[in-house]
Amino acid sequence: MSDPRLCCPECFGDRHLRRELFPTLSKTSGNCSYCDSTEQPLLDPILLREQFELVIGVYKQDPVGKTLVEFLKEDWRLFERLDIAHAKDLLSDILDDGQIVRERFQAVVERKSEGLTNWQNRCVELMHSNRFFPTTRVDLERLEELLSNLLLDQADMPQLWYRARIQGSEGTYLSEHMGAPPPELASHGRANPAGIPYLYISSSPATAISEVRPHSGDFISVAAITLPEGLKIADLRNPRKMVSPFILPDSQEVSEMCEDVRLLERLGEELTRPVLPKSAAYDYIPSQYLCEFAKKCGYDGVMYRSSVDGGVNLALFDPAKGTANNVTVHSVSRVSVQFHAV
């Protein structure tokens, strides 16, 4: 008789399953039968049946729809380490049903979320109508609740970051000059309003240099930035991977979150999308509003994808929490441009 097949947290890529359920339910560790990950906590897939039945309750059978695995991959970023065939194999073992994974489904929306539409309307109002006293309704309590799903795990927070400055006639910057500018010199940025300095740092020297938009021949001072432990960071890089449907109490709330996660994705896009310099003064306002709201909710900063090289950036609301040291000098030998016809 062959050994029973066991799954691991890497099969799913879900934070709640990894942090809560597997440590609670797993009685053994080893190599996963489904994704081939090694030295992982393991459990019988059927132990996750109750959790998955709640999530798939938001889908109904429809012959022209998609499979449950396709929905779970798209809506919740589950099974990313597995191809469709292996994911169906695992899901059928979880549900103890080899037929249901072959059926077609459609989403059942219990309540259409107005969050994304309201946010888009408020952004337009902030940019072009009412800057300080907007009238467009946005459920800020719900937005704060949604942001709580994006709290970065301390284990995933790098302690070393980088900040770059283009050198001028004064030459290499000293470490004490590699922080945020003083308030009177702080212009508007992607995250900060004019006059309110934030510290913009990047996950690598290459990303930091790319973010200052250098020209060939420029010399760049790059400082290593260290951060204290315990910072509360909202991670807007990939909200669908941060949000877990398994923490929700019923299928209606799963359905609502499936709609609201589109708003979280839009918030991440606000911080990442390229903005033309001529329109930055007002195009940055939605992302500035978002960051001011995150600061009000007690976050120390927001993490987002770089719009120039695919790296990671962090806007730190209190620049004093970043310590600059070990300044190195880099010469820009070439700047590449990517474009496409429109």
Residue 1 lies in a domain: no
- pLDDT value at residue 52: 97
Q: Is the pLDDT of residue 178 over 90?
A: yes
Continuous H helices in 9-114: 15-16, 22-25, 49-56, 68-76, 84-95
CA atoms of 43 and 23, how far apart (whole Å): 10
Q: Are residues 102 and 121 in the same domain?
A: no
Residue 340 lies in a domain: no
Query: What average pLDDT is seen over the chain?
Result: 92
- pLDDT value at residue 110: 53
Residue 299 lies in a domain: yes
Residue 30 lies in a domain: yes
For 96-142, the pLDDT digits (tens) are 999 999 999 998 765 566 888 899 999 999 999 999 999 999 999 99
Domain span at residue 265? 116-331
Enclosing H/E stretch for 40: strand 40-42
Closest C-alpha among 201, 227, 223, 163 to residue 315: 201
pLDDT category, 2, cuts 50, 70, 90? low
Please state the pTM of the whole predicted model: 0.89
Closest C-alpha among 11, 133, 28 to residue 79: 11
Domain boundary among 62, 90, 107: 107
- pLDDT value at residue 310: 79
* Section 334-339 average pLDDT: 82
- pLDDT value at residue 115: 86
* DSSP character at residue 18: I
For 39-82, the pLDDT digits (tens) are 999 999 999 999 999 999 999 999 999 999 999 999 999 999 99
